[in-house]
Amino acid sequence: MKIGVLLSGSGSNLQAIIDAVKNNFLSVEIGLVVSDNPDAFGLKRAEKAGIRAQYIPPGPKRTVLSPEAEEKYITALKEAGCELVCLAGFMRVIKDKILTAFPGRVLNIHPSLLPSFPGLKAWKQALDYGVRFTGCTVHLVEKGVDTGPIILQAVVPVRPDDTPETLLSRIHQQEHIIYPAAIKLFAEGKLTISGRQVNVLNKNQKK
């Protein structure tokens, strides 16, 4: 299966996916990496790994792609043969056009245990709230922000001396494990989705 990755920044999750493919943990091909930020370090990571990488201007708004930009993203992903779209730190809300072009085929990673702390700086929200445990979530993307059916989660305990930076760094370590794992389950057809429930088939089960 070919996948496309959309990102806006550092791309450490992209790197985890690249490494998982290299190590033969994940049998997918990263067909295209697209960013809304020409300076995203993730674009450099892609180029270094020999993966096609492209900046596509997002349009004038800060939080969403313009309708014209959405079309361009879809065309680029389709032309590259991508069947699954993985958001990896893509800082824009995904709207109908992309969701319709890739129905049930857009994944996201979020740095909290959803449904707690959707939105921005989720690790800081968790720290400020005083929770004992937070973590990260891979979910299918639907219309709402950080609301889609949950595929995998990992728990990260909050330490009394945590700063936003130390907590985020431990959350990232877990993200780099569960995102490739979730993509693997998706690519191998091991997920069945019914409403909000995502079931993971075990080795011997067939869909």
- Written as six digits, the tokens of 167 are 């907590």
Torsion sign (Cα): 169, 171, 177, 182: negative
- DSSP 3-state assignment of 130? coil
Q: Which of 102, 175, 183, 191 binds ligand GRF (CB under 6 A)?
A: 175
Residue type, 67: P
Report in angstroms how near the CB of residue 184 gets to ligand GRF at its nearest: 17
Contact positions with ligand GRF (CB under 6 A) in 66-85: none
Percent helix, strand, coil in the chain, to 5, is 35, 25, 40
Interface pick for ligand GRF out of 20, 74, 80, 88 (rule CB under 6 A): 88
Rounded CA-CA distance 39/87 in Å is 17
Site string for ligand GRF, 115-144 (x = CB under 6 A): ---------------------x--------
58 or 89: CB nearest ligand GRF: 89
- Extract the tokens encoding 17: 């996916």
Read off the tokens for 68. 């014209």
CB of 173 to ligand GRF, least distance (A): 11
The count of C-alpha atoms lying within 13 angstroms of the C-alpha of 141, restricted to the half-sphere facing its C-beta, is 26
Residue the block writes with tokens 């973590």: 135
> Binding ligand GRF by CB under 6 A: which of 12, 35, 125, 174?
12
Active-site residue, 139 included:
no
Closest distance of CB 88 from ligand GRF, Å: 5
With respect to ligand GRF, which residue has the nearer C-beta, 71 or 142?
142
- Per CB under 6 A, residues contacting ligand GRF are 7, 9-13, 42, 88-89, 109-111, 136, 175
